Amino acid sequence: MTKLEELTALVVNELNDFKTGIEKLEKINRALIDTKIKMDLTEYKSMIETHQQEMTSHKEFMKSFENRFNNKINQAKIYPTWAIVVFIVVIVISIVSVSYNFIK
């Protein structure tokens, strides 16, 4: 009987240890369920705001560059004015010279 009592006591001790282990796991599980993780986003918010400001300034720079570029394109001439005047004068002189030679 002593062997049977020893085995029974051992099984009872093991069951008690198992029960206490389960209770500890249940406490930990409840604590995990109740725990809320909070993230500190202040650093990231400041980085994002800085990035947004930089992107806004770059966007404004690109718009001003585009406006200046468009103004230059609109003001651009294919030929300079002096070249057009010289060409017209040469054409007029040529026509006068040809007509003079033709009449003569």
Q: Could you tell me the residue ranges of all domains in the chain?
A: 1-37
When pLDDT is averaged across residues 65-84 and rounded to a whole number, the result is: 86
When pLDDT is averaged across residues 3-15 and rounded to a whole number, the result is: 86
pLDDT digits 0-9 by tens, 16-54:
999 999 999 999 998 888 887 777 788 889 999 999 999
Distance CA(92)–CA(88), nearest Å, equals 6
Q: What is the DSSP letter of 104?
A: -
When pLDDT is averaged across residues 79-100 and rounded to a whole number, the result is: 90
Side-chain half-sphere CA neighbours of 63 within 13 A: 6
Among 3-17, 49-63, 76-90, top mean pLDDT goes to: 49-63
For the entire predicted model, the pTM comes to 0.42
Amino acid at 97: S
